[in-house]
Structure formats: structure tokens, C-alpha cells
Amino acid sequence: MAALHQWLRGELAHGAFDHGFEEYGVDILNRVSDLGKKYEFIPDVWRGEIPKLPQRLFETIDLRKIANADFSGTMDPKVAIPWTNEGENDLHEMPVGKREFENVPFDVIDPVSNKHRACLGISQKEPYKNLKRLC
């Protein structure tokens, strides 16, 4: 049902263009675009005013001392644990440095600057299970 609402907006504009109501078609598209810019997404169904998100305060956590794996799945295991050990099914294109994902700040470790240790792999299986306690 949700996809229908998105589809319907486009079809209304399309119909307006097809029947000589270009100004109305442009108005529909502009209003949808304005909503997307205002709320950073276009809701499928409007149920009154969209609630404001509470103020969120985040602090990044430095994992450099305990990171044990590289983003690359092709990393030599003698250097660092490869990401999931699945070849190029990995995170080798992960952007590094101060980043924001879904409005949450991260300081993504550059593997090269940290002896190829950029993330933390935790498991009961080798090669992760022999980690030192984190806390």
C-alpha cells in the first residue's frame, strides 16, 4: 500500500501533464520535492505533523587500541584479521575519518594508520575468540 501512495503522486503529475495542466503537474512535483527537502524523506502517508526528533548528543568511541580486523577481506592474516575472511565481500571502500551516517557521528579508523586494524570482530570462533577482555 505504501508504494501506491508514492506511485499515485507521480501518476497525478503525469496525468496533469498529459491533459494540458502542466502548471498543476509542476506544482505537484514541487510540493513533493519541498516535503522531501523539509523532512529529508517523503512519507507514504501523512498523519498530521511529523514529530520532531529529540536532541541527540553522541560521542565517538576510539577503538584504535582494541581494533583487531582490517576492512579488507583479502588482508594477509599474518598482518591483521581480514574482514569476515570472505575475499572482496568486505568493507575496503569504507570512507575513513570523521563521518556521519544516519545523523550519527563516527570517527572511522584508517586501517593503514593503525597497523591494518580498523574494526572490531567479536565471535566465539577463530580467529576472533582469543581476544583480550574489552572492559
Could you say which DSSP state residue 106 is in? E
75 and 120 in a single domain? The answer is yes
Asked if 82 and 72 count as a contact pair (C-beta separation under 8 A), the reply is yes
pLDDT at position 50, please? 67
Asked if 85 and 126 count as a contact pair (C-beta separation under 8 A), the reply is no
> pLDDT, tens digit, for every residue of 60-73?
999 999 888 899 88
66 and 132 in a single domain? The answer is yes
> pLDDT, tens digit, for every residue of 93-110?
999 999 998 889 999 999
Contacts of 25 (CB under 8 A, 6+ apart): 12, 13, 14, 15, 16, 17
Task: Please check whether residue 127 lies inside any domain of the structure.
Answer: yes
Count Cβ atoms below 10 Å from residue 119 Cβ, excluding itself. Answer: 17
Give the domain extent around 85: 56-135
Domain count, the chain: 2
79 and 127 in a single domain? The answer is yes
Strand partners, 100: 105
Does the predicted model carry a pTM greater than 0.85? no
